[in-house]
Structure 1
Amino acid sequence: MTLYVRDIRPSDRTRLTRLWESCALDPAAPRTAEHLDRALMDRSRTLLVGHVGTQLVASVMTGLAGDHGWVRCLAVAPAHRLHGHGREMMEEAGLWLAARGARTIDLIVEEGADIAEAFCQQIGFARQDAHRYSKGLLQEIPAS
């Protein structure tokens, strides 16, 4: 099963939503349009998708902040796991970032996500002792 990786296209929207739903990337599905639009318009980020044949089976969102790269939304369809697709997607994200001057890649693994932590360590990431804080700056305006 060869994985073909490319930048996302607008026509991938529905298949990407299905992939993220199958991987329980909550609340990914409602935000798929936002992520896709940003990846298509912002040159400092991309959303890579992986195909086996005509089937979209993997994704990873990546971007650049100064000389640091970041990764979010790594997803591999449950039926296509344990074939090296997650590793391939992370390698492609790393190549995309390195070509744009990134010196490191940062990612966040939610506390208690033991499988994700093991995967990150297996592909060469080292755990950093840090606490992450965030604050929303844009408030959603309710639809009228």
Structure 2
Amino acid sequence: MKKSVATFSNTGRLISWDCLDNIRFCDPWEAKYIGNMRAVAIFMCLALVAEVVCLIWNFITFCACFCKRYIIHPLILMSFITAAFLAVAVIIYAATFRGHIGTVEIHRDEYGYSFWIAVAALVLAAIDIVVAAMSVFLGERGL
């Protein structure tokens, strides 16, 4: 069983934006997996939007003095939604491209740096869920 390692070359990239815009710019490998690449891109964008909503809600909650313990509860759900979008993107990528990455045989099982950035974002989103839960717990007690 081979181990997957991070690469920092173009052959291990997560998404080619030129290919997402126009299929004529895709190489044969990208054209074969264009639907899955688009799904990964969509879920990554949804995760970004969900995270922006979380940040806005955090700011609103931070500024609220009188009703903080009542408006803080959606933070856990919004953090979970962000993590779920990231998890779906990482799972689609890992399941689809396992063993099919790269055009050179030595790059066959290597995930690119974009994949590892997405995994790091997923880990941080999981930490965000814990922080949101702690914020709700402390906010309910007026702390």
Q: What is the TM-score normalised by the length of structure 1?
A: 0.31
Greater RCO between the two (CA within 8 Å, min separation 6)? Answer: 2
Give the structure with the higher percent helix: 2
